[in-house]
Structure 1
């Protein structure tokens, strides 16, 4: 998976334009501007479009016409995810509404005093999910590659405010493992994306959308070794102003008979499949996942 290097899309100038529009005019004008930005990526970002096109045609089975529409909507939904993230971070006036499905599973994690591991993917809008989890009255930790340039991260925080969650950066010396364990011991929630890895990392292979694909081994190994409940969570956008938050029942895999990372991955891949089938344009994957 050398095509993905742990870096997110976007640049300081682009963020600055949208932040100015949001603060001066509001969310709707920013969405209108996004129509043209998404069209630019749709027309000229051929490499990433090729990967999305292959996913829509080969893995989802859409027709050419359907794939064209969903390819454009993929860029448009992705742009909305970035805008909504800024709106929530900066506390800009909005009309967002939310449906919570499975919130009780996460509340039980917190009430049991064990902390919990939440596995997600680059589907929907995780930054929004982080804000929704404030309802649980516990600290949220997000484990991630330090992909955004430091200058861009500092610019966003100076302009909009700090992220809602504490960031645990994945490091080569594995010090992030100790940070994860400390957070769980403090009855905090630890969130990890489990659908990407960097070249050289250990992987597991699992059938996903009718073809074998590689997933990072780390999140699923932790799920079986740590004595905490594990839930799969996703925050999907269903309209311009409505989000649907999903959380699966929590399972302490360490105490499951014959539990293995492969078993957890199989369940995660099934949950992920359910989401991409329901929201095919909201998987923001811009490299060859099945390479």
Structure 2
């Protein structure tokens, strides 16, 4: 079983140093500091390093040197994305620019007045994607595991302020299902990842990058249950201060029966994931063995 536990690394001290650097000197000096931090993780985060190195070697077929270079870039990109998130959401990201590829697809969903489900993965920055969705002038709900340590959450909230999106926390009592249902009934958009699960969740198997992997069943069941249009969205970092937001056309799976709809949806989703991972290989932030059962 994958060993991901729904928690992220980091300390309030570490975040505080980067926040102070961003506020006093800007984003680029924070990147310079990050290069040292990324090197530390590259050298000493053995478990995560072996997994992501294996991903580059076995799944994307890089040579040893190229895989090591991508490994360092992966840690560096992750740090950049976290810095960018703080800068943009705290109002210090005025120098950032964005492309919106497929924004009209999301506007078409909101025009249907049926609600909609936006599925993404741990590729690029979901937080920045959610922040950019406020352009749609509709209520955005982001479904997530309550995985960050409470002190870090409180600190980031004090820095970035309240998010414009509503957060729906996944809970063991399944009360989040009722919140999702209520949001869709109100013709709102619900955004969630569909590439990770914690132990005990129901899963569905699909081929991903040439080998079978397990995906959470929940997001696909929700789309079938509530019969809402589905789009696949991603926000990828392309240069130091530029992001590219992607959204597919809205897809209606209500014409399929349940046994056909979920496999078709999963096939569509993994296809979009593969395209983005191959195009932006250093921005898939999965630090556990994704293919291990």
TM-score bracket for the superposition, by shorter chain length: over 0.9
Q: d(CA) in 2 for partners of 1:152 and 1:93? A: 21
Q: d(CA) in 1 for partners of 2:133 and 2:286? A: 24
Q: d(CA) in 2 for partners of 1:113 and 1:149? A: 36
Deviations along 1:164-217, whole A, 9 cap, x unmatched? Answer: 321101111111011001111112110010000010110001000000000000
Q: 2:36: which partner in 1?
A: 36
Q: Does 1:235 align with 2:232?
A: no
Q: 1:287: which partner in 2?
A: 288
Task: State the aligned residue count.
Answer: 291
Q: 2:99: which partner in 1?
A: 99
Q: Does 1:70 align with 2:70?
A: yes
Q: Does 1:54 align with 2:54?
A: yes
Q: 1:197: which partner in 2?
A: 197
Q: Once the 2 structures are TM-superposed, how far is the Cα of residue 22 of structure 1 from its aligned partner?
A: 0.6
| Contact residue 143 and residue 169 of structure 2 kept, 8 A | yes
Q: Does 1:109 align with 2:109?
A: yes
| Contact residue 2 and residue 289 of structure 2 kept, 8 A | no
SS for the counterpart of 2:98 is strand
> Unpaired runs of 5+ in structure 1?
none
Q: 2:139: which partner in 1?
A: 139
Q: d(CA) in 2 for partners of 1:93 and 1:72? A: 25
Rate the CA distance shift 1:46–1:161 in 2: closer, same or farther, 3 A: same
5 Å matches for 1:1-291? 1-256=1-256, 259-291=260-292
Q: Once the 2 structures are TM-superposed, how far is the Cα of residue 220 of structure 1 from its aligned partner?
A: 1.0
Q: d(CA) in 1 for partners of 2:242 and 2:24? A: 23
Structure 1 segments (4+ residues) deviating >3 Å: 256-259
**TM-score in terms of structure 2 length:** 0.97
| Contact residue 42 and residue 49 of structure 2 kept, 8 A | yes
SS for the counterpart of 2:43 is helix
- Residue range with higher mean Cα deviation, 255-264 or 195-204: 255-264
Q: d(CA) in 2 for partners of 1:142 and 1:237? A: 20
Deviations along 1:211-255, whole A, 9 cap, x unmatched? Answer: 000000001111222121100000011110111111011112123
Deviations along 1:9-57, whole A, 9 cap, x unmatched? Answer: 2211111110011111111110111110101100110110000001000
| Contact residue 74 and residue 282 of structure 1 kept, 8 A | yes
Superposition RMSD on alpha carbons, in Å? 1.1
| Contact residue 26 and residue 93 of structure 1 kept, 8 A | no
Q: Once the 2 structures are TM-superposed, how far is the Cα of residue 2 of structure 1 from its aligned partner?
A: 4.8
Q: Once the 2 structures are TM-superposed, how far is the Cα of residue 93 of structure 1 from its aligned partner?
A: 4.2
Q: Once the 2 structures are TM-superposed, how far is the Cα of residue 129 of structure 1 from its aligned partner?
A: 0.4
Deviations along 1:107-154, whole A, 9 cap, x unmatched? Answer: 011111111100000000111101111110011111111001122111
Q: d(CA) in 1 for partners of 2:156 and 2:95? A: 22
SS for the counterpart of 1:99 is strand
SS for the counterpart of 2:239 is coil
> Unpaired runs of 5+ in structure 2?
none
| Contact residue 84 and residue 93 of structure 2 kept, 8 A | no
Rate the CA distance shift 1:206–1:2 in 2: closer, same or farther, 3 A: closer
**TM-score in terms of structure 1 length:** 0.97
Q: Once the 2 structures are TM-superposed, how far is the Cα of residue 99 of structure 1 from its aligned partner?
A: 0.9
Deviations along 1:251-284, whole A, 9 cap, x unmatched? Answer: 1212336642122111100000000000001000
